Amino acid sequence: MWINISQLLSRLGSHLTSSLVPTQPESRVRFPRRFRSTRIGRWFIGITLLVSIAAFNTGNNPLYLLLGMLLSLILISGILSDATLKDLEVSRQLPNRIFAGQPILVGLTLSNRKRHLPSFSLQVRERIEGLKREDWPSSYILRVDAQSSVNTFYRHTFPRRGIWNLQGFEIASSFPFELFYKAVEIADPQPIIVFPQPAPVQGLRVLDYLSSGSQLRPQPGQEGDYLSLRPYRPQDDIRSVHWKISAKRDQLVTRELEQPRSQAITLCFENRWYPQGEKPEIHQERLERAVERCAGILSLLIQEGHPVALVTLQERTHFGSDLAHQDHLLTVLARLTFVGDPQLERESDQSHPKATFNLNPHDRCLLIAHRVAGGDALPAHLIPMGSLLQFIPIE
C-alpha cells in the first residue's frame, strides 16, 4: 500500500498547529465591536451629505476636494478607533470584604498587547448584572502604550446584600475626532458576595448577663486564678515573676493564670415571611433591617470573644469566634432567603411553612423573631424552655 507523504505531513502539521496554538478561555470572550455616531459625528455626516449634493449638482472641483477630505476624515476615524480597541485585556482586583451600602474601590489593570501602536482615550466599564448601563461603574484612561499596562480603579456601592454577578467589561473610545463612539465587550464573569451592612447594636442586655458569667478554662492566660508555675521566658511580663520561689530555686519562675472562657451563644434568626397585613414592600424592608441587625449582633459578639453559631429555619452553622467564622456567618446572611416569600421561584422555600430551628439541648439562644400575632408574647414554640437568653423582635 502506497503512503502519500504529503498528506501525512499536512495532517501532522495541522495536528501540531492545533495543539500548540493556545485557545482563548471562555472567561475572555470578546464580542464584536459596535458603534454609534456622536452629536458631533451626526453634524459632520450631515455637512458631508450637503457638500456631496452640491458637488454633484455643480461639478465644482473645490467641492469635490472638500468632499474627499471629509470622507477621508470619516475613514481615518474608523481605522484609528478600531486600532485603539484592538488587543486590549482587562483584569480586576476586588476587596476581600464587600458590604451593602458601603463604597468600595475595585482595581483594574488594562493591558495593551499590540506590538507598536498605543491606545488612547479609553473608557472601561464594569458590566454588572441587574444594573442599567448608565449605572455601570467606569474609569477613564488617557493612554496605554504598546506592550504595557496601566492600573486604575473605580468606586462603586452595591445597594443590597446578596450574590452579584460581574459579567465582564466594556471598553469604549471616541478617538480620534469624537465622530463615532465605538465599544467592545469582554466577557469575564465572576460572582461576588455582598455582605449585609451590620447595623448598630442597641438594647443587647445579654452582654451584661454574660460578662458576669464567664467561665475559666485551665489554659495559660493573663488573668484569672492561679494555675501553675513554670520557668521564666524572655517574652513573659516581669510582673508575673514569683520572686520568693525564684529566690529559693535560684532561677526566675513565672506564675501562670487561668484564661477566661466566653460563653457560646446560638444566634437564632427567624427568616420567615410573616407580613401580618403589611404591604409586601414594607414587610421586605422590615426583614432586611432585621438581617442587618442580626449581622451587627453577631459581629459584636465575635468581637467580644464569644463563640457564635447562626441558626436559621434552613440551616445551622458551627461555633466559632475568629474573623474567618464571622465572614462565614455574614455569607450565610448574604445568601439568606425568607421561608414563604411569594416572590421566590424555588418551591423548596415554600414547601416548609412550619420550619423550625435545629437546636441542641445545650444551646444558649439569642432569638430574633416575629412577635406573636395579637400581642407582644414571646414565640415560645421556636425555642425550648430554659434556652433563651434574650428575645429581640423583628421591627
Is the distance from CB of 331 to CB of 194 less than 8 angstroms? no
- Taking the C-alpha atoms of residue 1 and residue 366, their distance in angstroms, rounded to an integer, is 85
- Taking the C-alpha atoms of residue 54 and residue 215, their distance in angstroms, rounded to an integer, is 96
The structure's pTM equals 0.74
- Identity of the amino acid at 71: L
- Taking the C-alpha atoms of residue 91 and residue 70, their distance in angstroms, rounded to an integer, is 38
Residue 271: count of CB within 10 angstroms of its CB: 24
21, with CB counted inside 10 A (0-12, 13-18, 19+), is exposed
Closest listed residue to residue 369, CA positions, set 340, 342, 390: 390
Is the distance from CB of 296 to CB of 339 less than 8 angstroms? no
- Taking the C-alpha atoms of residue 90 and residue 96, their distance in angstroms, rounded to an integer, is 19
Query: What cell does 122 get?
Result: 479609553
Position 373 scores a pLDDT of 64
Per-residue pLDDT of the chain (395 residues; tens, 9 = 90+): 344 434 433 443 444 333 333 333 444 666 677 888 899 999 999 999 999 999 999 988 999 999 999 999 999 998 999 999 999 999 999 999 999 999 999 999 999 999 999 999 999 999 999 999 999 999 999 999 999 999 999 999 999 999 999 999 999 999 999 899 999 999 999 999 999 999 998 878 877 766 544 444 444 444 445 667 888 877 677 888 888 888 888 888 888 765 555 688 999 999 988 887 888 899 999 999 999 999 999 999 998 888 999 999 989 999 998 999 999 999 999 999 998 888 775 544 444 556 788 888 888 888 988 887 655 566 767 777 668 888 888 88
- Domains with residue ranges and CATH for the chain: 26-193 (2.60.40.10), 216-261 (no CATH), 265-393 (no CATH)
- Taking the C-alpha atoms of residue 86 and residue 184, their distance in angstroms, rounded to an integer, is 9
Strands 138-144 vs 119-128: parallel, antiparallel or unpaired: antiparallel
- Taking the C-alpha atoms of residue 22 and residue 7, their distance in angstroms, rounded to an integer, is 24
Position 40 scores a pLDDT of 92
Query: What cell does 332 get?
Result: 450565610
Position 206 scores a pLDDT of 74
Position 6 scores a pLDDT of 45
Query: What cell does 97 get?
Result: 470584604
Helices and strands, number each (H, E), in the chain: 7, 15
Residue 107: count of CB within 10 angstroms of its CB: 14
Q: For 373, how many CA atoms within 13 A lie in the half-sphere containing its CB?
A: 5
Long-range CB contacts (within 8 A, 24+) of 383-390? 383/268, 383/357, 383/359, 384/359, 387/359, 387/363, 389/206, 389/209, 389/210, 389/265, 389/364, 389/365, 390/204, 390/205, 390/206, 390/209, 390/366
- Tell me the sheet residues that pair with 393: 369
- DSSP code, position 147: T
Positive or negative torsion for Cα 69, 75, 79, 84: positive
Is the distance from CB of 283 to CB of 277 less than 8 angstroms? no
- Identity of the amino acid at 155: R
